[in-house]
Structure 1
Amino acid sequence: MIGTFIHVFKQESLLGLYSGLSASLLRQLTYSTTRFGVYEELKADLTTPKSSPSFPALIAMASASGFLGGIAGNPADVLNVRMQHDAALPEAGRRNYKNAIDGLVRMTREEGWKSLFRGVWPNSMRAVLMTTSQLASYDGFKRVLIEHTQLTDNLTTHFSASFLAGFVATTVCSPVDVIKTRIMSSHESKGLRKLLVDVYKVEGVGWMFRGWVPSFIRLGPHTIATFLFLEQHKKMYRRLKHLDEV
């Protein structure tokens, strides 16, 4: 990880560390809003004053939400991977997208609209795993902490549950992240089965958790910040709508 950081800094200067920022923002606007929005809506529909969805139900809702989010965010995800991977390529092989919009236009014009959905199935699979291991596990950990410890529905509980959810999400999604990145950054079309066989021959079983530490460094704080903000947002919304008084 340190070697990659130094290489990118030497090749692209400080700005190179932020390659793909516009694509990353576009991805969050499409992928994250879709999966969080659908999940929260489904959960609200199944929650009553006397009962809440069971853990298997949370998993089912998170899976459906993640699948829809994976499809919605795939074009921006392809761009994000390509723009971040550009610095590691020789100059002749770089795509040099100016920003996310330029990337979408050029991909559609040069490779056809189907290129926007390259890797959509492993990406959707990853989105299902991510949403399930992140959202469903967060709600599950939060419920366990409140029911089996002295913690209440407060900031400490939210932090603890989100930290554990980030650990679970990183571990569960690591193999799919590796596959997704290699498919999307590839210059050739290669079937999923052939890709797995080739990777296994070269790297063995270790390929499944390649990059786990940098993934957790990114996903752990992201998961914590996301749920802390989400919980506070929901409290503010309920207070403004006077829902707690009903």
Structure 2
Amino acid sequence: MMGPTTSDVHPTMAVKIFSAGVAACVADAITFPLDTAKVRLQIQGECQTSSAIRYKGVLGTITTLARTEGPMKLYGGLPAGLQRQISSASLRIGLYDTCQEFFATGKETSLGSKISAGLTTGAVAVFIGQPTEVVKVRLQAQSHLHGLKPRYTGTYNAYRIIATTEGLTGLWKGTTLNLLRSIIINCTELVTYDLMKEALVKNKLLADDVPCHVMSAIIAGFCATVLSSPVDVVKTRFINSPPGQYTSMPNCAMTMLTKEGPSAFFKGLVPAFLRLGSWNVVMFVCFEQLKRELTRSRQTVDCAT
């Protein structure tokens, strides 16, 4: 009697979570300079001093950062970024299918169940991974230029200083905004990717393989970037701000609006898309391939035993 084919064997939840975590770390390591450029462009405008460096465009920001602060500054906060992917991305992506099945009312999953799954996994991921987000943003934003003393010397130093000077709540600063951002990105990203892949395969435009995954990931990244940009900019500004600069998140948004105008909410949009779009491509392709290979290995072991 023949055993099931690879396509008949579904990956376990553990395989999905592990694959999502590894794929997210690979994607983060590759696209991190774009994320750093996005953060620097988003906080630009807070410091109005004449000596402040003005960043122009994605490439201009990256080259200016590398020239003035050294190439390694582009990877400032990477350890916290990888910790964020391990603690949150692995759950929000790895648990998506399982949550989708939980919310499904029949054999076929509806759009409502996809959105509900995205909301749930996105919320869980934020509460677990918020401290890593706070540390990552602050390390990316800090500069040693113009005699400024860095607030933190490294990742674990940042965790310690934030916890001791701002309390444990400081590590969860901006959780509400990040929760809103994560829900928007998670729902848009995962649901759009899911729907696009399904449509391309069902209509026989592309097979369920790398070209299909790349196309779906790019479209998902674009939709998620545009919808989440205003929340993302306010979140970055609020998380990076020292105690007392803004009285609340709405105050941060109103300060941006009155001082810099509506366009401030879309600062860093191009690097945000380049980063999220390329992050999606690397992550989803790695995720799908790793998940497939681990499932195939598990099937081989099961057949051997």
TM-score in terms of structure 1 length: 0.89
1:68 aligned partner = 124
CA distance in 2, matches of 1:29, 1:189: 31
2:213 aligned partner = 158
2:169 aligned partner = 114
2:288 aligned partner = 231
Runs of 5+ consecutive residues of structure 1 not aligned to the other structure = none
Q: CA deviation at 1:159?
A: 1.4
CA distance in 1, matches of 2:212, 2:299: 24
Find out whether 1:23 has 2:80 as its counterpart. Answer: yes
Match of 2:192 among 128, 131, 137: 137
Provide closer, same or farther for how the CA distance between residues 51 and 155 of structure 1 changes in structure 2, counting only shifts above 3 A.
Answer: farther
CA distance in 2, matches of 1:156, 1:167: 17
Relative contact order (alpha carbons < 8 A, sep ≥ 6): 1 or 2 greater? 2
Q: CA deviation at 1:114?
A: 0.8
Letter in 2 for 1:211: G
CA distance in 2, matches of 1:89, 1:12: 8
On the 8 A contact 2:69/2:145 being kept in 1, the answer is: no
2:108 aligned partner = 52
Q: CA deviation at 1:180?
A: 0.6
Letter in 1 for 2:262: V
CA distance in 1, matches of 2:146, 2:225: 30
On the 8 A contact 1:8/1:88 being kept in 2, the answer is: no
- The residue matched to 1:238 in structure 2 has which SS? helix
The structure with more helix, counted as a fraction of residues: 1
Return 146-155 or 78-87, whichever deviates more. 146-155
Provide closer, same or farther for how the CA distance between residues 229 and 6 of structure 1 changes in structure 2, counting only shifts above 3 A.
Answer: closer
Q: Deviations over 1:23-77 (max 9, x none)?
A: 11111111211212321322355679x9331122111101110011111111010
Letter in 1 for 2:287: L
CA distance in 2, matches of 1:40, 1:102: 37
Q: Deviations over 1:159-183 (max 9, x none)?
A: 1111111111111111111011000
2:140 aligned partner = 84
Runs of 5+ consecutive residues of structure 2 not aligned to the other structure = 1-56
Provide closer, same or farther for how the CA distance between residues 194 and 241 of structure 1 changes in structure 2, counting only shifts above 3 A.
Answer: same
Q: CA deviation at 1:149?
A: 4.2
Q: CA deviation at 1:90?
A: 4.9
CA distance in 2, matches of 1:54, 1:89: 52
2:232 aligned partner = 177
Q: CA deviation at 1:217?
A: 1.3
On the 8 A contact 1:183/1:190 being kept in 2, the answer is: no
TM-score in terms of structure 2 length: 0.73
Match of 2:274 among 217, 229, 241: 217
Q: CA deviation at 1:85?
A: 0.5
Match of 1:190 among 244, 247, 268: 247
